Structure formats: structure tokens, C-alpha cells
Structure 1
Amino acid sequence: MSQKKEVLILCTGNSCRSIMAEALVNAKIGDCVHAQSSGVKASGKVNPHAQALLEKKGYWRDEYHSKVIETILDTPFDLVVTVCDAAKETCPMFPKAVKTIHIGFEDPSGKAEQEYEKTLDLLEKELLPIIKKELCEEK
């Protein structure tokens, strides 16, 4: 088995969308991809609603936490995905020359609980196939 590909899911606060995406990727396509997440202005804490939802779905792992970008700058990623809603936020740029794609998702933080479910569903429908195509399929 070849080594897993590394994907970084990047957004601003690293408390909700990127953590949800990280957990989803590792749970669903973790056989070929290892996901990490980070934020440029990492909040330092995971959104409790996002965590509760991930726990309910069985995707949560204790090592998930809000990380500042500096902690992962030396990791050789195969792909970087920004998930900020570009209309509202400045999406960070990853300094190393690595393929970067952007798929914006609205931040459910502060909204009703079902918005978190919607975001998780969207991440699964829209983000997973792209990462899978980029990193799991033999070119």
C-alpha cells in the first residue's frame, strides 16, 4: 500500500468548517488520504456544535483541535483546500508551492443546529469527491 496522500483543509478560524471537513475526510476516505486542518487566525477552540455533530456521527477523534497555520507549515501536503466563504473572508494562501483549490462553504457558527448538519452534508457531497478525485484515483 502506497503512502497516504496529505491534504490540508484551511480556513480562517479553524473551529468549524475545516474541522468538520478534516473529520469527514479521515472517516470516509481515510484509506488513501490523511487530512489535517488549520486556520490563519485559529480560534484555538473547536465549535461545540460542530464537535457534538461529529461525535454523534462517529467522526470525532480526540486529536482534533484548532491549530494555527505555523504548526503545520513544514508538512509536505499533496493538496491544500480552502473552505472559507470567500465573499465574507480572506482565504489564506499556503506558502509552499502546492496545488491549492478553493471550495467555499458558509460558516454555520452562531446559527441554528441544523445549519451545521447542512454544512456537513455539503462538505460530504461537494468536497469529498474532489479530494478523492485529486488524491485517491490513479492518474
Structure 2
Amino acid sequence: MKKNVLVLCTGNSCRSIMAEALINAKLGECVDAQSSGVKASGSVNSTAKALLKHRGLWREDYHSKVIETVLDTAFDLVVTVCDHAKETCPMFPKAVKTIHVGFEDPSGKAEEEYVKTLYLIEQELLPVIKEELC
């Protein structure tokens, strides 16, 4: 049975969406990833979306979600990817474990920063999730 992981950020528009897409693409055989935001922006960052589409990682069902929509899901792991989300992470009634693997927000920066962030998520976060859940 697949394990459930939640990637949590503040706005759920960039880093958490990139992580959700990477986890589902690379570890989808054992993990089902979702993402949400402590204060969800309601929209996906256009540069992040374009990058994910270019890499073949985008799914049309990816969207920015408020945390309340996922609080009742039984997650095996909750991962915060920004410091603000780590500090404001709500208690999940059914979460087993919460970990923090932080990444700088590329929003508003050059496209190379998005590429770098996607690379770092793949290099630093995916091995942790694989070890925890697969």
C-alpha cells in the first residue's frame, strides 16, 4: 500500500508544488504526495509550472490548496519545505512524523533559480522521503 506524504509550505505556489510533482514522478510506486500551504496563495507560480511542464512532471490536478482541505488525510509523513511553514505547522490529528527540509524560495528570481531549487529538491528531499517511506 502506498504511503501518503504532505509537502507543506506557506503559499503552496512554488516549492511545495515542485516537491509534490517530483515525489509523484520519481517515487510514485511507493508514495502518494500532496502539497498544501499554511496560507495558500490560490495559484501556482507560472515559472514553476512552466518548468514542471517542460520536464514532463506537471499534472493538471496540481493546484494551490489551503491546509484545511488536507487536515483529515492520514499522512505517514509531513514535510515542511520553508521555515515559516515549519514554525506555523498545525498539529495533524493523524500524522505520524513531521520533518523539515528547507529550500530558498525562487519566486520573483531568474529562471535559473527555479531550476536550481528543483534540482536541490530532487537531490536533498527525495532521498529522505525514499528512506522514510519506501
Distance 1:35 1:6 in 2: 6
Q: Percent identity?
A: 73
Structure 2 match to 1:51: 49
Structure 1 unaligned spans of 5+: none
Residues 57-96 of structure 1, C-alpha deviations (whole Å, 9 max, x = no match) = 0000000000000000000000000000x2xx35332312
Structure 2 match to 1:95: 91
Structure 1 match to 2:16: 18
Residues 82-115 of structure 1, C-alpha deviations (whole Å, 9 max, x = no match) = 000x2xx353323125200001100000000010
Structure 1 match to 2:76: 78
Structure 1 match to 2:37: 39
Distance 1:94 1:105 in 2: 20
Q: RMSD across aligned C-alpha pairs, in angstroms?
A: 0.9
Q: 1:80 touches 1:94 (CA, 8 Å); kept in 2?
A: no
AA aligned opposite 1:133: E
Distance 2:113 2:126 in 1: 19
SS for the counterpart of 2:7 is: strand
Structure 2 match to 1:108: 106
Whether 1:117 and 2:104 are equivalent positions in the alignment is: no
C-alpha spacing 1:20/1:90, structure 2 compared with 1 (3 Å): closer
C-alpha spacing 1:116/1:93, structure 2 compared with 1 (3 Å): same
Residues 33-62 of structure 1, C-alpha deviations (whole Å, 9 max, x = no match) = 000000010000000000000000000000
Could you list the structure 1 runs, at least 4 aligned residues long, displaced by more than 4 angstroms after superposition.
none
- The structure with more helix, counted as a fraction of residues: 2
Q: 2:38 touches 2:85 (CA, 8 Å); kept in 1?
A: no
AA aligned opposite 2:119: D
